């Protein structure tokens, strides 16, 4: 593949692609296994992006602009205990209000409250219990299916992205945060039209940098996919900062 194109449906902030979906497409250019993708600029929609193979992985450019860099990685992340589907569903109900009240990007395909059911993923994490974890239920729509009937990998990456922002976001009390790096491991297929549970928690903060983790479980509590994400708080609302290392 010499070009990559992101469909308009899979936006994050207005006019640019969802970070997790983009990372998943970039990871799909590499061999199977855990991958790390760094986002260097807002990924444009509906435009051919040049793909370049490099010794350590792959880079994606929009003209002269470096959009993303991906490489194989090691993900050392304990999935922790699962959350029941009932608990996750209750959290999602609370999450609709939480995300709807002060969402900086309300049309985001994964967590945007303005997206219609079936068009958006409808993942709205909220706190569950008192251990700092957030959870949401998710039933992947069949429009996200690959030829084998499972969720396309890039869509699983997207589902692992936005939930990691839930323990970190300012919820209208400060600038938005944006994804700059996502490391993920897709360990088992994810079935469409089946209920799943997404659990996320904070890993730490350092100035404007914030890290969190996320695990996708099936309804029986089996971990299917894991991710670690680095987010950065914007200096100004709506302005994308360069990657913070």
Domain count across the chain: 2
Task: Tell me: do 149 and 184 sit in the same domain.
Answer: yes
pLDDT digits (tens, 9 = 90+) for 47-81: 999 999 998 899 999 999 999 999 999 999 988 88
- Neighbour-count burial for 156-168, b at 16+ CB within 10 Å, e otherwise: bbbbbbbbbbbbb
Is residue 244 domain-resident? no
Judged by phi (left if over 0) then psi (alpha if -120 to 50, else beta), residue 229 lies in beta
Statement: residue 242 has pLDDT above 80: no
Domain enclosing residue 173, as ranges: 85-233
Is residue 77 domain-resident? no
Task: Tell me: do 111 and 183 sit in the same domain.
Answer: yes
Is residue 134 domain-resident? yes
Judged by phi (left if over 0) then psi (alpha if -120 to 50, else beta), residue 204 lies in left
Is residue 170 domain-resident? yes
Overall average pLDDT of the 19-36 stretch: 95
pLDDT digits (tens, 9 = 90+) for 96-147: 887 777 888 999 999 999 999 999 999 999 999 878 999 999 999 999 999 9
Task: Tell me: do 64 and 94 sit in the same domain.
Answer: no
d(Cα 237, Cα 245) in Å, to the nearest integer? Answer: 20
The dihedral sign for the CA sequence 108, 2, 75, 185:
positive
Task: Tell me: do 107 and 196 sit in the same domain.
Answer: yes
Task: Tell me: do 178 and 145 sit in the same domain.
Answer: yes
Q: How far is CA 196 from CA 49, 133, 136, 139, in A?
A: 32, 16, 8, 6
Is residue 139 domain-resident? yes
From 14, 41, 72, the end of a domain falls on 72
Is residue 240 domain-resident? no
CA 206 vs. chain centroid, Å, equals: 21
pLDDT band at 1 (very low <50, low <70, confident <90, very high): low
Is residue 15 domain-resident? yes
Task: Tell me: do 92 and 21 sit in the same domain.
Answer: no
pLDDT digits (tens, 9 = 90+) for 170-216: 887 889 999 999 999 999 999 999 999 999 999 999 999 999 999 99
Task: Tell me: do 177 and 207 sit in the same domain.
Answer: yes
pLDDT band at 2 (very low <50, low <70, confident <90, very high): confident
């Amino acid at each position: 593949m010499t070009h990559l194109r992101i469909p308009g449906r899979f936006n994050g902030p207005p006019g640019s692609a969802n970070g997790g979906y983009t990372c998943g497409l970039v990871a799909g250019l590499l061999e199977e296994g855990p991958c790390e993708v760094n986002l260097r600029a807002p990924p444009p929609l509906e435009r051919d992006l040049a793909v370049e193979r490099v010794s350590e992985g792959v880079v994606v450019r929009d003209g002269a602009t470096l959009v993303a860099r991906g490489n194989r990685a090691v993900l050392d992340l304990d999935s922790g205990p699962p959350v029941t589907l009932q608990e996750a569903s209750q959290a999602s109900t609370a999450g609709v209000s939480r995300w709807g009240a002060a969402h900086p990007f309300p049309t985001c395909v994964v967590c945007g409250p303005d997206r219609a059911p079936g068009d958006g993923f409808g993942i709205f994490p909220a706190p569950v219990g008192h251990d700092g974890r957030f959870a949401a239920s998710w039933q992947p729509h069949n429009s996200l299916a690959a030829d084998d009937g499972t969720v396309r990998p890039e869509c699983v990456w997207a589902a692992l992205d936005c939930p990691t922002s839930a323990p970190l976001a300012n919820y209208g009390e400060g600038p938005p945060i944006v994804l700059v790096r996502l490391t993920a491991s897709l360990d088992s297929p994810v079935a469409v039209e089946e209920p799943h549970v997404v659990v996320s928690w904070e890993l730490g903060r350092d100035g404007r940098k914030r890290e969190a983790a996320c695990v996708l479980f099936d309804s029986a509590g089996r971990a299917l996919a894991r991710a670690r994400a680095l987010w950065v708080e914007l200096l100004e609302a709506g302005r994308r900062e360069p990657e913070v290392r």
